[in-house]
Amino acid sequence: MSAEQDYYDDDPRDWDEEDGDDIDCGLMPDGQCLKAGSEECDFECPYRNSELFAGSPAWCRKHGVKS
């Protein structure tokens, strides 16, 4: 198993606190989301407005990007 695979398997962002199940998170380390534009990403993602999600207001502030 590669180091990259270990990262995704142990990613704490995959934990769903509501029911304790793992969610299928598509957020990658660079802030891009594999599920961008999907209903799951638009309505259920807890990271959508965080500094982890590329293009969000928090991400833009952290990276000095003017909107």
- pLDDT tens by residue, 4-28: 444 445 555 555 555 555 567 889 9
Record the pTM.
Answer: 0.58
**pLDDT of 2 over the 50 cut:** no
**What is the 8-class DSSP label of residue 6?**
H
Q: What residues make up the domain containing 15? A: 3-63
Concatenated DSSP letters for 17-64?
A: TTTSPBP---B-TTS-BTTTTSHIIIII-TTTTSTTSTTSHHHHHHHT
pLDDT at 45: 87
Cα separation, 23 vs 41, in Å, equals 11
Closest CA to 18 of 44, 42, 43: 44
Cα separation, 47 vs 37, in Å, equals 14
> What total number of domains does the chain contain?
1
- pLDDT tens by residue, 24-66: 788 999 999 999 888 888 888 888 899 999 999 999 999 998 8
